[in-house]
Amino acid sequence: MADPNQISELMEGAVDDLKLEVLMCVTQQCPDKVAWPTAELGPPPPLYFDAGMFVHEPSMATAKALLDTLRVTPPTPFAEQDFLNMFFRDQYKPIPLVYNLVPAMLWWHPENVQLDKVKVVHYRAPESKPWRYTGKEANMDREDIKMLVKKWWAIYNDESLDFSKSKLPPFGSSLRARALTSVRQNVPAVATLAASWAAAGVVASAANPAICFAFYAIFIVSIAVVMIALRDN
């Protein structure tokens, strides 16, 4: 469990941006057990999330609003993370630890962690990242940390998850196959459509030869698609 002594350690010396972020994360996880140091830093800030694990519902309107706001927002120490916190401050809801376990929670708030139920691990601290892990830094020699690092490497080295070696057909081939399947299932409709384009081209030819050529080209393509579908059927 986090205690006042750990907070005091963070408060030693100047409180830089990184220390401030850690303080915010720690005190917000268990406000009933670890209080924000109001005497030293004033009133506690609003809820703040680490954007390394962030879920939202995509929306074109939201995307436009994000870009419009970004253009008039000055730079901040934590770049996109600060910006996302500012933009979503009235909508943000914390992700449960089971889907966003930061390794430091294992020693800051172990009473809140059910390690056997964790689905997503957020290797936030540089020394906890598996590809940088040495086990020499503070708390990195813990057995639970070693286990999480080992699991990451097991997934990374699992060849069944390496889609660069998969036998899936290229996107173009897959798209062609789906298109041909659709045509085979609707040959009369496609043929009727092709004939309609041809008729429209004849009618339009009197007004503009260029339009006639365009309709004729569409007619030829439609017929070609129908012939390929019937040949492959």
pLDDT in tens, 182-226: 656 665 655 555 555 555 555 555 555 666 566 556 656 665 655
Residue 7 and residue 22 in contact, taking contact as beta carbons nearer than 8 Å: no
Q: Would you list the DSSP string of 91-144?
A: T--PPPGGGSB-TTHHHH-GGG--GGG---B---SGGGSTTT--S-STTTT-HH
Given this model, what pLDDT does residue 2 score?
43
Using the predicted structure, report yes or no on whether residue 175 has a pLDDT greater than 80.
no
Residue 208 and residue 193 in contact, taking contact as beta carbons nearer than 8 Å: no
Given this model, what pLDDT does residue 147 score?
94
Q: What percent of the chain has pLDDT over 90?
A: 18
**Better pLDDT: 125 or 212:** 125
Please state, in angstroms and rounded to a whole number, the distance separating the CA atoms of residues 67 and 74. 13
Given this model, what pLDDT does residue 211 score?
60
Given this model, what pLDDT does residue 108 score?
82
Given this model, what pLDDT does residue 146 score?
94
What b/e string do you get for 135-144 counting C-beta neighbours within 10 Å, with b at 16 or more?
Answer: eeeebbeeee
Which stretch of DSSP H or E encloses residue 188? Answer: helix 187-205
Q: What percent of the chain has pLDDT over 70?
A: 53
- Measured over all CA atoms, what is the biggest interatomic distance in the chain, rounded to whole angstroms? 90
Given this model, what pLDDT does residue 4 score?
45
Max avg pLDDT among 10-14, 75-79, 181-185: 75-79
Question: Tokens 């940390």 label which residue?
Answer: 145
Given this model, what pLDDT does residue 188 score?
60
Please state, in angstroms and rounded to a whole number, the distance separating the CA atoms of residues 164 and 172. 16
**Better pLDDT: 138 or 162:** 138
Given this model, what pLDDT does residue 5 score?
47
Q: Is 178 exposed, middle or buried (0-12, 13-18, 19+ CB in 10 A)?
A: exposed
Rounded mean pLDDT, 133-152: 93
Report which DSSP code applies to 229.
Answer: H
How confident is the prediction for the chain on average, in pLDDT?
73
Given this model, what pLDDT does residue 111 score?
85
Rounded mean pLDDT, 84-112: 87
